[in-house]
Structure 1
Amino acid sequence: MLTVGDKLPQFELLNQDGDKVQSKSFLGKKLVIFFYPKASTPGCTTEACNLNDNLAELTKEGYQLIGISADPVPAQRKFHEKNAFQFPLLSDESKETLEKFGVWIMKNFMGREYMGVMRTTFIFDEKGICTRVIDKVKNKTAARQILKES
Protein backbone atom coordinates (compact mmCIF):
# COMPACT_ATOMS: atom_id res chain seq x y z
CA MET A 1 0.00 0.00 0.00
CA LEU A 2 1.07 3.56 -0.68
CA THR A 3 2.54 5.19 2.42
CA VAL A 4 3.35 8.68 3.68
CA GLY A 5 6.12 10.18 1.54
CA ASP A 6 5.19 8.27 -1.63
CA LYS A 7 4.44 10.14 -4.85
CA LEU A 8 0.96 10.24 -6.37
CA PRO A 9 0.87 7.37 -8.88
CA GLN A 10 0.15 8.31 -12.47
CA PHE A 11 -3.26 7.27 -13.70
CA GLU A 12 -5.84 8.11 -16.33
CA LEU A 13 -9.41 7.05 -15.57
CA LEU A 14 -12.89 7.92 -16.77
CA ASN A 15 -15.17 9.94 -14.52
CA GLN A 16 -18.91 9.46 -14.09
CA ASP A 17 -19.52 11.34 -17.36
CA GLY A 18 -17.03 9.26 -19.35
CA ASP A 19 -14.43 12.07 -19.46
CA LYS A 20 -10.74 11.25 -19.02
CA VAL A 21 -9.15 12.40 -15.76
CA GLN A 22 -5.37 12.29 -15.29
CA SER A 23 -3.60 12.30 -11.94
CA LYS A 24 -1.13 14.94 -13.17
CA SER A 25 -4.01 17.43 -13.45
CA PHE A 26 -4.17 17.54 -9.63
CA LEU A 27 -0.58 18.64 -9.06
CA GLY A 28 -0.36 22.11 -7.52
CA LYS A 29 -3.39 21.46 -5.33
CA LYS A 30 -3.99 19.45 -2.16
CA LEU A 31 -5.85 16.27 -3.01
CA VAL A 32 -7.98 13.74 -1.16
CA ILE A 33 -8.60 10.44 -2.93
CA PHE A 34 -11.05 8.10 -1.26
CA PHE A 35 -11.30 4.52 -2.46
CA TYR A 36 -14.58 2.77 -1.82
CA PRO A 37 -15.72 -0.83 -2.43
CA LYS A 38 -18.96 -0.41 -4.39
CA ALA A 39 -21.14 2.44 -5.61
CA SER A 40 -24.64 2.75 -4.17
CA THR A 41 -24.06 0.37 -1.25
CA PRO A 42 -25.05 1.60 2.23
CA GLY A 43 -21.53 2.09 3.66
CA CYS A 44 -20.15 3.73 0.53
CA THR A 45 -23.18 6.00 0.23
CA THR A 46 -22.82 7.07 3.88
CA GLU A 47 -19.12 7.86 3.39
CA ALA A 48 -19.54 9.73 0.09
CA CYS A 49 -22.55 11.71 1.38
CA ASN A 50 -20.61 12.72 4.50
CA LEU A 51 -17.77 13.98 2.30
CA ASN A 52 -20.21 15.79 0.01
CA ASP A 53 -22.00 17.40 2.98
CA ASN A 54 -18.65 18.71 4.23
CA LEU A 55 -17.18 19.61 0.85
CA ALA A 56 -17.27 23.37 1.56
CA GLU A 57 -15.13 22.86 4.65
CA LEU A 58 -12.72 20.57 2.78
CA THR A 59 -12.47 23.11 -0.05
CA LYS A 60 -11.87 25.91 2.46
CA GLU A 61 -8.86 23.92 3.72
CA GLY A 62 -7.60 23.77 0.11
CA TYR A 63 -8.55 20.19 -0.72
CA GLN A 64 -9.88 18.76 -3.95
CA LEU A 65 -11.76 15.49 -3.60
CA ILE A 66 -12.16 12.47 -5.87
CA GLY A 67 -13.58 9.02 -5.29
CA ILE A 68 -12.39 5.86 -7.05
CA SER A 69 -13.86 2.37 -7.22
CA ALA A 70 -13.87 -0.56 -9.63
CA ASP A 71 -17.45 0.20 -10.68
CA PRO A 72 -18.12 0.85 -14.39
CA VAL A 73 -18.89 4.38 -15.60
CA PRO A 74 -22.70 3.84 -15.75
CA ALA A 75 -22.75 2.73 -12.08
CA GLN A 76 -20.62 5.75 -11.12
CA ARG A 77 -22.96 8.06 -13.07
CA LYS A 78 -26.05 6.65 -11.33
CA PHE A 79 -24.39 6.94 -7.89
CA HIS A 80 -23.21 10.49 -8.65
CA GLU A 81 -26.58 11.71 -9.98
CA LYS A 82 -28.70 10.05 -7.31
CA ASN A 83 -26.72 11.73 -4.53
CA ALA A 84 -25.88 15.02 -6.33
CA PHE A 85 -22.19 14.67 -5.51
CA GLN A 86 -20.13 17.81 -6.17
CA PHE A 87 -16.90 15.89 -6.80
CA PRO A 88 -15.90 13.38 -9.49
CA LEU A 89 -16.17 9.62 -9.15
CA LEU A 90 -13.63 7.68 -11.21
CA SER A 91 -14.03 4.22 -12.66
CA ASP A 92 -11.15 1.73 -12.48
CA GLU A 93 -12.61 -1.43 -13.98
CA SER A 94 -9.11 -2.68 -14.90
CA LYS A 95 -8.09 -2.32 -11.21
CA GLU A 96 -4.71 -0.99 -12.39
CA THR A 97 -4.95 2.18 -10.28
CA LEU A 98 -6.39 0.28 -7.32
CA GLU A 99 -3.33 -1.97 -7.47
CA LYS A 100 -0.93 1.01 -7.75
CA PHE A 101 -2.36 2.37 -4.49
CA GLY A 102 -2.38 -1.08 -2.88
CA VAL A 103 -6.10 -1.12 -2.12
CA TRP A 104 -7.12 -4.08 -4.35
CA ILE A 105 -6.82 -6.84 -1.77
CA MET A 106 -8.01 -10.29 -0.78
CA LYS A 107 -11.04 -9.90 1.49
CA ASN A 108 -12.91 -12.41 3.60
CA PHE A 109 -16.61 -12.20 4.39
CA MET A 110 -18.46 -14.99 6.16
CA GLY A 111 -15.78 -17.49 5.18
CA ARG A 112 -15.80 -16.49 1.50
CA GLU A 113 -12.58 -15.06 0.08
CA TYR A 114 -12.68 -12.62 -2.81
CA MET A 115 -10.76 -9.68 -4.24
CA GLY A 116 -12.13 -6.24 -3.41
CA VAL A 117 -11.35 -2.62 -2.60
CA MET A 118 -10.11 -1.78 0.87
CA ARG A 119 -11.84 1.42 1.96
CA THR A 120 -8.92 3.85 2.27
CA THR A 121 -8.34 7.61 2.00
CA PHE A 122 -5.08 9.14 0.79
CA ILE A 123 -4.16 12.80 1.24
CA PHE A 124 -1.56 14.44 -1.02
CA ASP A 125 0.13 17.82 -0.87
CA GLU A 126 0.49 20.24 -3.77
CA LYS A 127 3.62 18.42 -5.00
CA GLY A 128 1.82 15.08 -5.17
CA ILE A 129 3.45 13.65 -2.05
CA CYS A 130 1.30 11.50 0.24
CA THR A 131 0.99 13.22 3.62
CA ARG A 132 -1.57 10.92 5.27
CA VAL A 133 -3.21 7.54 4.82
CA ILE A 134 -6.49 6.79 6.58
CA ASP A 135 -7.01 3.03 6.48
CA LYS A 136 -9.65 2.85 9.19
CA VAL A 137 -12.22 5.09 7.54
CA LYS A 138 -15.34 5.82 9.56
CA ASN A 139 -18.16 6.22 7.04
CA LYS A 140 -20.26 8.62 9.12
CA THR A 141 -17.33 10.92 9.99
CA ALA A 142 -15.00 10.55 7.00
CA ALA A 143 -14.67 14.32 6.48
CA ARG A 144 -13.86 14.87 10.17
CA GLN A 145 -11.07 12.29 9.91
CA ILE A 146 -9.55 14.25 7.01
CA LEU A 147 -9.98 17.68 8.61
CA LYS A 148 -8.77 16.80 12.10
CA GLU A 149 -5.12 17.06 11.10
CA SER A 150 -5.25 19.62 8.27
Structure 2
Amino acid sequence: ASEAHIYGWVDFNQNGKFDEDERSNLATITQDGTVELTFANSKTYIDPSVNELGARVRIAKKATEIESPTGMAFSGEVEDFKTQITHPPKGEFKETSGPQATKQTATVTFTARGEHKYQRNSQAVIDETVEPYIVDKDGNRATLDADGYYVVPG
Protein backbone atom coordinates (compact mmCIF):
# COMPACT_ATOMS: atom_id res chain seq x y z
CA ALA A 1 0.00 0.00 0.00
CA SER A 2 1.20 3.49 -0.73
CA GLU A 3 1.84 6.04 2.01
CA ALA A 4 -0.89 8.51 3.02
CA HIS A 5 -1.03 11.41 5.47
CA ILE A 6 -3.78 12.53 7.82
CA TYR A 7 -4.61 15.67 9.84
CA GLY A 8 -7.58 16.25 12.12
CA TRP A 9 -9.26 19.41 13.42
CA VAL A 10 -11.64 19.90 16.35
CA ASP A 11 -13.53 23.18 16.81
CA PHE A 12 -12.58 23.46 20.50
CA ASN A 13 -13.62 27.11 20.83
CA GLN A 14 -16.94 26.50 19.01
CA ASN A 15 -16.57 29.49 16.70
CA GLY A 16 -17.84 27.52 13.69
CA LYS A 17 -14.46 27.20 11.95
CA PHE A 18 -11.30 25.15 12.32
CA ASP A 19 -8.50 27.41 13.54
CA GLU A 20 -4.79 26.72 13.00
CA ASP A 21 -4.22 25.87 16.67
CA GLU A 22 -7.07 23.33 16.56
CA ARG A 23 -5.17 21.06 14.14
CA SER A 24 -3.68 17.73 15.19
CA ASN A 25 -0.21 16.46 14.54
CA LEU A 26 0.45 14.98 11.08
CA ALA A 27 0.17 11.20 11.06
CA THR A 28 1.61 9.04 8.29
CA ILE A 29 -0.22 5.88 7.31
CA THR A 30 1.65 2.95 5.77
CA GLN A 31 -0.78 0.10 6.46
CA ASP A 32 -4.36 -0.63 7.53
CA GLY A 33 -5.04 -0.01 11.20
CA THR A 34 -5.79 2.58 13.83
CA VAL A 35 -4.29 6.08 13.71
CA GLU A 36 -3.92 8.24 16.81
CA LEU A 37 -4.02 12.01 16.36
CA THR A 38 -2.68 14.32 19.07
CA PHE A 39 -4.02 17.84 19.61
CA ALA A 40 -1.12 19.49 21.46
CA ASN A 41 -2.49 23.04 21.38
CA SER A 42 -6.13 22.29 22.10
CA LYS A 43 -8.14 24.57 24.32
CA THR A 44 -8.52 23.41 27.91
CA TYR A 45 -11.68 25.40 28.64
CA ILE A 46 -14.84 23.89 27.26
CA ASP A 47 -18.32 25.06 28.26
CA PRO A 48 -19.84 22.17 30.28
CA SER A 49 -23.23 22.78 28.64
CA VAL A 50 -21.70 21.78 25.28
CA ASN A 51 -21.74 18.02 24.74
CA GLU A 52 -20.48 17.81 21.14
CA LEU A 53 -17.80 19.50 19.05
CA GLY A 54 -17.40 19.63 15.28
CA ALA A 55 -14.48 17.62 13.92
CA ARG A 56 -12.85 17.16 10.52
CA VAL A 57 -10.33 14.60 9.28
CA ARG A 58 -8.47 14.96 5.98
CA ILE A 59 -6.37 12.25 4.32
CA ALA A 60 -4.24 12.49 1.18
CA LYS A 61 -1.15 11.04 -0.46
CA LYS A 62 0.53 14.45 -0.33
CA ALA A 63 0.67 16.04 3.14
CA THR A 64 0.90 19.53 1.64
CA GLU A 65 -2.61 19.13 0.14
CA ILE A 66 -4.22 18.82 3.59
CA GLU A 67 -2.28 21.33 5.72
CA SER A 68 -5.37 23.53 6.05
CA PRO A 69 -8.91 22.43 6.93
CA THR A 70 -10.25 23.59 3.55
CA GLY A 71 -9.08 23.51 -0.05
CA MET A 72 -8.49 20.97 -2.78
CA ALA A 73 -6.81 17.66 -2.10
CA PHE A 74 -6.42 15.92 -5.44
CA SER A 75 -5.31 12.65 -3.86
CA GLY A 76 -7.52 12.47 -0.77
CA GLU A 77 -10.82 12.97 0.98
CA VAL A 78 -12.43 14.70 3.96
CA GLU A 79 -14.82 13.52 6.68
CA ASP A 80 -16.83 15.86 8.94
CA PHE A 81 -18.56 14.63 12.07
CA LYS A 82 -19.43 15.56 15.66
CA THR A 83 -17.58 14.09 18.60
CA GLN A 84 -18.96 13.86 22.13
CA ILE A 85 -17.14 15.58 24.99
CA THR A 86 -16.53 13.76 28.25
CA HIS A 87 -16.40 16.38 31.01
CA PRO A 88 -14.49 15.55 34.20
CA PRO A 89 -16.23 16.18 37.53
CA LYS A 90 -15.75 19.67 38.93
CA GLY A 91 -14.62 20.22 42.50
CA GLU A 92 -15.64 23.22 44.52
CA PHE A 93 -13.03 25.76 45.66
CA LYS A 94 -12.06 25.62 49.32
CA GLU A 95 -9.63 27.87 51.16
CA THR A 96 -8.28 27.38 54.67
CA SER A 97 -7.22 30.21 56.94
CA GLY A 98 -5.39 28.62 59.87
CA PRO A 99 -1.86 29.58 60.95
CA GLN A 100 0.97 28.42 58.71
CA ALA A 101 2.58 25.05 59.64
CA THR A 102 -0.56 23.82 61.40
CA LYS A 103 -2.85 21.08 60.15
CA GLN A 104 -5.72 22.40 58.07
CA THR A 105 -8.56 20.41 56.57
CA ALA A 106 -11.34 20.98 54.10
CA THR A 107 -14.00 18.81 52.52
CA VAL A 108 -14.36 19.24 48.77
CA THR A 109 -17.54 18.20 46.97
CA PHE A 110 -17.39 17.16 43.30
CA THR A 111 -20.23 17.54 40.82
CA ALA A 112 -20.68 15.42 37.69
CA ARG A 113 -21.07 17.33 34.40
CA GLY A 114 -22.21 16.46 30.90
CA GLU A 115 -23.82 13.33 29.52
CA HIS A 116 -23.02 9.77 30.54
CA LYS A 117 -20.56 7.90 28.31
CA TYR A 118 -22.06 8.44 24.86
CA GLN A 119 -25.55 7.25 25.82
CA ARG A 120 -26.94 10.74 25.17
CA ASN A 121 -30.02 9.96 27.24
CA SER A 122 -28.69 10.26 30.79
CA GLN A 123 -26.59 12.72 32.73
CA ALA A 124 -23.12 11.78 33.93
CA VAL A 125 -22.74 10.42 37.45
CA ILE A 126 -19.74 10.03 39.72
CA ASP A 127 -18.73 6.42 40.40
CA GLU A 128 -18.44 6.46 44.18
CA THR A 129 -16.71 3.05 44.19
CA VAL A 130 -13.59 4.62 42.66
CA GLU A 131 -11.33 6.52 45.05
CA PRO A 132 -10.76 10.13 43.93
CA TYR A 133 -7.26 11.42 43.31
CA ILE A 134 -5.55 14.69 42.45
CA VAL A 135 -3.77 15.17 39.12
CA ASP A 136 -1.16 17.67 38.00
CA LYS A 137 -1.43 19.86 34.89
CA ASP A 138 -0.24 16.93 32.70
CA GLY A 139 -2.85 14.51 34.05
CA ASN A 140 -0.43 12.51 36.21
CA ARG A 141 -1.48 11.48 39.71
CA ALA A 142 -0.13 13.78 42.40
CA THR A 143 1.51 11.99 45.32
CA LEU A 144 1.83 12.88 48.98
CA ASP A 145 5.16 14.38 50.05
CA ALA A 146 7.11 13.24 53.14
CA ASP A 147 4.89 15.42 55.36
CA GLY A 148 1.65 14.00 53.95
CA TYR A 149 0.75 16.96 51.71
CA TYR A 150 -0.18 17.04 48.07
CA VAL A 151 2.21 19.24 46.14
CA VAL A 152 0.89 20.17 42.71
CA PRO A 153 3.27 22.55 40.93
CA GLY A 154 2.15 24.77 38.08
- TM-score normalised by the shorter chain: which range applies? under 0.3
More strand by share: 1
Query: Given the two structures, how large is their TM-score scaled by the length of structure 1?
Result: 0.24
TM-score, with normalisation over the residues of structure 2? 0.24
Whose helix proportion is higher, 1 or 2? 1
Which has the higher relative contact order, 1 or 2, with Cα contacts under 8 A spaced 6 or more apart? 1
Q: Which has the larger radius of gyration?
A: 2
